[in-house]
Amino acid sequence: MIANLAQGVHTFTSNAFLVHGERTVLVDTGANFDVVAPLEDRVERLDAVVLTHTHPDHVGNVPAVKDAFDIDVWGYDPAQASVDHAIEDEATVELGDYEYVALHTPGHKDDHLCFYAAEPEILFAGDLIFQNGGFGRTDLPEGDRATLIESIDRVRGRVDSELRELHTGHGPSVTNEPYDHVELAARMARQL
C-alpha cells in the first residue's frame, strides 16, 4: 500500500510516499509540514527513507524523521548532507513488498533517481515526470534540458503500456493510463 503523507498539505513541499509492506519505507520526506505525526499514526516502525533527490522540498523533514525513527537515509549521492548510504544506478531497492530498480535520471538535479518495479508496474518518478506531460524544471543549478530528455527517454524505455501507477514528486499520482503521461512528458520536454 502506498500513501502520500503530503496530500492535502498547503505549503511548499514535495510528496512524501509511505510504502507499507515487508520493508516499510518513506520515499522523500517533504518539507515545511509535520510528517512525523502522520507516520506515527500509520506505522510502528519505519525501515528507511529513500530519496528521489536532495532538493530542499524533498529533504526538509529528514532530520525530524531520523530523530523520530532512528533510521538511515538512502539516496544517489552520499556526499549530500541528507544521505547516509548510496543507491547506485540499476541497484535493487526493496520498497514495501516489491523490488524496484533504481534508475539514475539527472537533468532536474544531478543526484535524481526514479524507482521502477516491473511487478507490480509502479514508477516513483520524483521530479522527472508529472501528470499530463509535465516534467522537471531545468532552470535550477544542475538542471539541463538535454540531460532531462535523455533521462525521460531512459524511463520511457524501461516502462511500457502495462504501467499501473505513476507516483510523482508533486501533484497527484496517476493510475489511469500512466504510461501515456510518460510518453507525453517525453514529447513536451522536446517542444519547449
Tens digit of pLDDT for each residue in 127-166? 999 999 999 999 999 999 999 999 999 999 999 999 999 9
Q: Name every residue whose Cβ is closer than 8 Å to that of residue 106 and which is 6 or more positions away in sequence.
A: 112, 142, 144, 147, 148, 151
* Count of the separate structural domains present in the chain: 1
Range of the domain at 126: 2-191
Q: What pLDDT, in 10s, does the model give residues 25-82?
A: 999 999 999 999 999 999 999 999 999 999 999 999 999 999 999 999 999 999 999 9
User: Residue 71: which CATH number?
Assistant: 3.60.15.10
Distance in angstroms (rounded) separating the CA atoms of residues 56 and 60: 5
